Amino acid sequence: MGIFDKIKEKLSNEFIDIIEWLDYTDDTICHRFERYQNEIKNGAQLIVREGQTAVFINEGQLADVFKPGTYTLNTQNLPILATLKGWKYGFNSPFKAEVYFVNTHLFTDEKWGTKNPITLNDERFGLVEIRAFGTYAFKISDPGKFITDIVGTDGTFTNFEINEHLKSLIATRFTDTVGEANLPIELYAANTSELGETCKEVMQPEFQGVGISLERFFIENVSMPEELKKEIFEYSRLDKLDLDKLTKFKTAKAIEAAANQEGGTAGAGMGMGMGFVMAQQMGAMMGGQNTQQGNAAPAQQAGPPPIPTAIQYYYATNGQQAGPVTFEQLQALFANRTVNRDTLVWKAGMGAWTALKEVDELKAFLGGSTPPPLPGA
């Protein structure tokens, strides 16, 4: 026997009798115990610390799994490996097997996010895009399955190597979940806790399929375009504010904006014209009488004019005809988002069902900044 063989044998006899792994990192999930020629002596001491699991692999096949504790390795402690090796009455020292230590503690504060916007179809706002991001926590629940399905022969496997796979899985399942939830768009940001719990339940089987347990899943933020956010805020205020005061306020702001536009007096005239028309519409809403343009009022009236007949509107919802409702009732339905700008409406005298946004007297609901033609023009 050469001198180097004697040195190797001496090192083997002194150090291979204890198998343990001291983890000094925060991100290592799995570590393969390295030793001379993969040999383990009969009676060797195996030390598995809390938060660890030791897995024995024989020629690529899963054998015995050890939980935290100290073990003396023999055929009694290695029943599966003994069967695979064909040991009936014990084994000669040393024997060969691969030993993997798996970290089973909780890996926390792992980041996830949607790389691309998620497109949703909202009943009021149409197609909208949202993004989301948050954190999650996981741990290894089945070390044997994790090693055979994910780790393979990797000597040191970190959470960075598995995170890309997990983040892609999370993004896919999150997209499916929010798409099937079919919530009003503003409720996604207001119900992140409930949505997070639902996503966790949906994703859990996918994680367990590779020996991982999804312990926590948090949605920190659901974002949307700024213009959509402003429109949602506008709708939410309609439920709280007096519609008459809101309309008058918008009219005043429109007049001010028109006066500040290029053209000076012409801009102010357009703003005043729009104000007059909106005032007339508000008068009709409140039951006032229409003012006759270009005719002098008679000095005396023999009696009151006839009471105007309220216009009745029909509207479509979920493919069904609803109504009739008055102008004020239709405006209230628009305010509480039962109908929207694209809802089909009809009244007596109209040839066909028409989108609300195309009906002249209903355009006031939309709060547009372009005035209609001046009366009598």
Q: What is the pLDDT of residues 224-236, one digit of tens each?
A: 877 777 777 666 6
From 87-101, 250-264, 334-348, the region with the lowest mean pLDDT? 250-264
Residue 368's alpha-carbon distances to 10, 210, 251, 266, in angstroms, are 90, 55, 10, 19
> Average of pLDDT values for 264-284?
50
CA 222 to chain centre: 6
How far apart are the C-alpha atoms of 245 and 102, rounded to whole Å?
67
Residue of 185 and 169 predicted with greater confidence = 169
Walk me through the domains of the chain, giving residue ranges and CATH numbers.
Answer: 3-103 (no CATH), 107-228 (3.30.479.30), 239-288+310-366 (no CATH)
pLDDT at 160: 84
Checking if the pLDDT of 155 tops 80, the result is: no
- 354-355: strand order across its sheet: 320-325, 313-317, 344-347, 354-355
Residue 365's alpha-carbon distances to 198, 254, 337, in angstroms, are 37, 14, 11
Q: Give the pLDDT confidence of 309-323 residue by residue, as tens digits.
A: 678 889 888 888 888
pLDDT at 268: 47
Q: Give the pLDDT confidence of 183-230 residue by residue, as tens digits.
A: 777 777 777 888 889 899 999 998 999 899 999 999 988 888 777 777
Residue 193's alpha-carbon distances to 63, 181, 207, in angstroms, are 41, 14, 20
pLDDT at 68: 93
pLDDT at 233: 67
- Please give the backbone phi and psi of residue 41, each rounded to the nearest 5 degrees, phi first: -80, 150
Checking if the pLDDT of 105 tops 60, the result is: yes
Q: Find tokens 């925060």 and name the residue.
A: 26
Q: Give the pLDDT confidence of 17-70 residue by residue, as tens digits.
A: 788 998 878 889 999 887 766 678 878 889 999 999 999 988 778 888 999 999
Checking if the pLDDT of 327 tops 60, the result is: yes
pLDDT at 140: 92
